[in-house]
């Protein structure tokens, strides 16, 4: 049975990745990221980018304010407070959000061409059909990540606001002022007078930056899922040909061409999103190290903050492990044909099978950060080893230094 003949009749041309992901792209634009034009269109030829659009203006405002807040933290740390860990955390947080905003603007300028290439790939692989349950999987993953991000962000902000109101004898207006001026944006209000509207705008920008952190991780995972689904289809086809002992060279030639075509597109897409991967891994790795280090100083903190600490650390680990596991599947699926063909009966071997084996063996396909590292499952172990090595060094230094049992920054007035 020839799959090209049977599957083509069941093809659903209305399916494409842009249509599958437009719900998350719309949400990203609400928060000032990924400003592509025509995001609700199902026809990718109608996608576009314009520097004069409101979407781009919103993105520029978001990362400009984020960069300004980061500079404010640097100025305060350099001229007023000296080195403070919470100031450094804020700098990394806002700089990472700014870099992700810039990366998504750059990606938005190229998104139409990326999608046109992806649609061309879908058309050339249309006889496989649209990957089963791909749309449902993308939506489930997106919903889970967004709910967890919202719960984490609003829980810490609510905790800070409750403490601020308590410090001002239950007055919401005075508590909010304390929350904005002393607990969240002191680097701004030590030079500007307190204005409630400005405080609300800054808090909205803080929420946008928090969203960027989740969106960049989620984007990498969703791209990985889509590529993995296509590789899985090719592997299923290879397994079918092998198990059925198909001898026709043409059928093996077609599947080899599909595999090489998908590998070329994977390299192309990886090149476009590599900077996003670097920003994501730097941000997650930095805050995991900080959270693990913070566990050594959990002395005078409230039970609520201790609970938040463990939840936050768990979510950070979940983020980076999820990225590694989902993205590593692209590399694993690209190498799976070697395992399948290793058990192929020798009597059906031909030049196209050999060509397919050579393609799998000598191509390094996967998601990487500017070719500096390839995301595989082993990367999780490498990162874990790096964190533990760092913490062992810190523990040794802490033994030689007096321990400061200071209250948490947000647990006292």
Q: Identify whether 223 is part of a domain.
A: yes
Gap between the Cα atoms of 166 and 343, Å rounded: 69
pLDDT over 70 for what percent of the chain?
90
Gap between the Cα atoms of 209 and 360, Å rounded: 40
Gap between the Cα atoms of 49 and 35, Å rounded: 7
Taking only the tens place, the pLDDT of each residue in 268-299 is 999 999 999 999 999 998 888 888 777 766 55
Q: Which two tokens stand for residue 399?
A: 């033994």
pLDDT given for residue 302 in this prediction: 64
Gap between the Cα atoms of 248 and 171, Å rounded: 80
Q: Work out whether the CA dihedral 362, 132, 258, 107 comes out positive or negative.
A: negative
Taking only the tens place, the pLDDT of each residue in 57-93 is 999 999 899 899 998 888 888 877 777 777 888 899 9
Question: CB of 281 within 8 A of CB of 313?
Answer: no
Q: Identify whether 131 is part of a domain.
A: yes
Q: Identify whether 89 is part of a domain.
A: yes
Q: Identify whether 165 is part of a domain.
A: yes
What's the structural domain count of the chain?
1
pLDDT given for residue 305 in this prediction: 67
Gap between the Cα atoms of 403 and 330, Å rounded: 46
Q: Identify whether 175 is part of a domain.
A: yes
Residue 32, domain extent: 13-398
Q: What is the pTM of this model?
A: 0.89
Q: Identify whether 49 is part of a domain.
A: yes
Q: Identify whether 6 is part of a domain.
A: no
**Which of 158, 159, 203, 156 lies closest to 181, judged by CA?**
203
Q: Identify whether 4 is part of a domain.
A: no
Q: Which two tokens stand for residue 32?
A: 């000032």
């Amino acid at each position: 049975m020839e799959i090209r003949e049977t599957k083509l009749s069941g093809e659903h041309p209305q399916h494409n990745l842009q249509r599958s992901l437009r719900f998350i792209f719309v949400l990203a634009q609400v928060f000032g990221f990924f400003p592509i034009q025509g995001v609700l269109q199902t026809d990718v030829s109608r996608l576009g980018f314009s520097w004069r659009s409101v979407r781009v203006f919103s993105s520029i405002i978001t990362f400009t304010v984020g960069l300004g807040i980061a500079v404010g933290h640097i100025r305060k740390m350099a001229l007023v407070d000296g080195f403070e860990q919470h100031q450094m955390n804020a700098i990394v947080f806002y700089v990472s959000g700014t870099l992700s905003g810039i990366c998504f603007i750059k990606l938005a300028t190229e998104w139409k061409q990326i999608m046109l290439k992806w649609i061309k790939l879908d058309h050339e692989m249309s006889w496989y059909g649209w990957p089963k349950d791909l749309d449902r999987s993308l939506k489930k993953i997106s919903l889970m990540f967004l709910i967890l991000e919202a719960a984490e962000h609003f829980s810490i902000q609510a905790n800070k606001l409750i403490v601020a109101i308590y410090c001002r004898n239950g007055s919401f207006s005075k508590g909010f002022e304390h929350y904005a001026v002393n607990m969240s944006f002191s680097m701004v209000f030590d030079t500007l007078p307190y204005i409630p509207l400005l405080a609300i705008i800054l808090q909205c920008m803080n929420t946008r930056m928090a969203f960027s952190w989740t969106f960049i991780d989620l984007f990498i995972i969703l791209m990985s899922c889509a590529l993995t689904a296509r590789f899985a289809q090719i592997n299923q086809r290879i397994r079918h040909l092998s198990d059925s002992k198909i001898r026709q060279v043409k059928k093996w030639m077609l599947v080899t061409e599909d595999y090489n075509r998908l590998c070329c597109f994977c390299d192309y897409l990886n090149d476009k999103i590599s900077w996003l991967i670097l920003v994501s891994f730097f941000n997650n790795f930095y805050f995991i190290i900080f959270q693990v280090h913070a566990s050594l100083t959990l002395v005078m903190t409230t039970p609520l903050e201790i609970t938040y600490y463990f939840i936050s650390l768990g979510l950070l680990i979940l983020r980076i492990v999820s990225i590694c596991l989902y993205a590593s599947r692209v590399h694993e699926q690209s190498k799976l044909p070697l395992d399948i063909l290793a058990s192929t009966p020798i009597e059906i071997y031909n030049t196209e099978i050999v060509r397919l084996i050579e393609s799998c063996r000598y191509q390094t396909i996967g998601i990487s950060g500017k070719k500096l590292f390839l995301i595989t499952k082993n990367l999780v172990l490498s990162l874990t080893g790096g964190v533990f090595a760092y913490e062992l060094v810190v523990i040794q230094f802490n033994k030689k230094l007096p321990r400061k049992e200071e209250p948490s920054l947000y647990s006292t007035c």
